[in-house]
Amino acid sequence: MRLSRTLRFGLLGLAIGLLLSGAAVPLYAQVSVPAEPPDPPEQPPFGLPFATEPSLSTWYIVQWYGNTTFAYHWRNYYYEAGQGLHFGLDFSVRCGTEIQAIGDGIVTYVDEARYGSGPHNLIIDHQNGFTSLYGHLLERSSLKPSEAVKQGDVIGLSGDPDGTCDSRPHLHLEIRDDTYHYAYNPVIFIDADWDTLALFGPMWGFQQDLTDPRRWVTPTDQPPVDFWSETLNDYAYPWPPDWLQQ
């Protein structure tokens, strides 16, 4: 069935908007997609993407995965593909900081434009049903597709989605299944002291639904994303208020 001109231009506009915003654009691999997202492993299989300890002068969480207030306000624009959720974890970090592989695996994509997260990105298949995406890298990684990496190997340098290194430098990290159809909360995949990490550094808070005010409001209770499915957070009674509805 041919798409109408209006729909084709609408989808093109959405993709361009996502690329310019720094958000990642979901890519569907030509593989069988499971009807339900695979269950996360019982124990976190991955490590953090930095060799240094967290601090305000090294790195910290600037936006969590999931139902953040920022993602909520732009749920029908930049985050429409991700059901209205921020489908990665953002680490504020100086440009040029070494980024490490969070686990063993095989490089599958380098600078794949269909994933956004420019100006450069890299994806690793961890051969356990899950993949990791590293976005907003400073320059193209020297690694090549099909190259093997070990946890802790340097896979690139941190950058800035605006290409300036003084705008909003950060690493955007995603965990997806190996069909690229579902995204997961990296917090439950990475072995780290998240309680301590939540105590310092500026961060986007989580959006509340006043009809169910305790749902999806902590770093650990965020739902998986089923790309291009219905929006999860179209709240009739949101808090904080939705500035786009004012």
| Range of the structural domain that residue 153 is part of | 45-218
How many folded domains does the chain comprise? 1
Write the pLDDT tens digit of every residue in 28-68: 444 577 778 888 888 999 999 999 999 989 999 999 999 99
Determine whether 179 is exposed, middle or buried from the number of CB atoms within 10 Å of its CB (0-12, 13-18, 19+). middle
Looking at the domain assignment, is residue 89 inside a domain?
yes
For position 166, which CATH number holds?
2.70.70.10
Write the pLDDT tens digit of every residue in 112-161: 888 788 899 999 999 999 999 999 999 999 999 999 999 999 999 999 99
Bridge pairing between strands 154-157 and 182-184 = unpaired
The two tokens of residue 112 are 């794949």
